[in-house]
Amino acid sequence: MAAALPGDAYENVLEGRVTRAGRDTAEVALDGGPPLVISAAPGLGEGASVLLGIRAAEIMIALTDAAGLSARNVLPGRVRSLREAEGGDMVRVSLDGHPIDLGVMITESARAALDLSEGKAVRLVAKARSFHLLAVR
């Protein structure tokens, strides 16, 4: 199904549990994955089971850890696959130490500038506001 979607419509869906709920952010432990920082939502409390979405075009790829970013999420991983997609290139990244792959949509020129290839170590970067709640249980 993912191959039929244009890149800007591809959405990663993640399940997790809220481990900390603050005034403006919440921390979510992903099922089988690393913790994420997301924007807080009214009524989102500790222990809540959540379903999160993040569009492939909302995730950035870096080659090294970056300092001084406002983005709260920097996740190490490795490129699993690359393919041309409508509107750019779809990069599948496996998160280090976790059974989670995320789809990331980038431009062809970004792919070339980063010299991406299968197996290359990368960092995925996402702002807390890039994640949106699909469901709270």
Averaged pLDDT for residues 111-130: 98
CATH code at 121? 2.40.50.100
Averaged pLDDT for residues 31-47: 93
Residue 1 — very low, low, confident or very high, per pLDDT cuts 50/70/90?
very low
Q: Which domain holds residue 70?
A: 2-136
- Cβ(58)–Cβ(130) under 8 Å? yes
pTM of the predicted protein model: 0.91
Burial (CB count within 10 angstroms: exposed 0-12, middle 13-18, buried 19+), residue 23: exposed
In this prediction, residue 6 carries a pLDDT of 57
In this prediction, residue 86 carries a pLDDT of 86
Domain total in the chain:
1
Other beta carbons within 10 Å of 103:
22
Instruction: Name the residue with higher pLDDT: 66 or 68.
Output: 68
In this prediction, residue 4 carries a pLDDT of 44
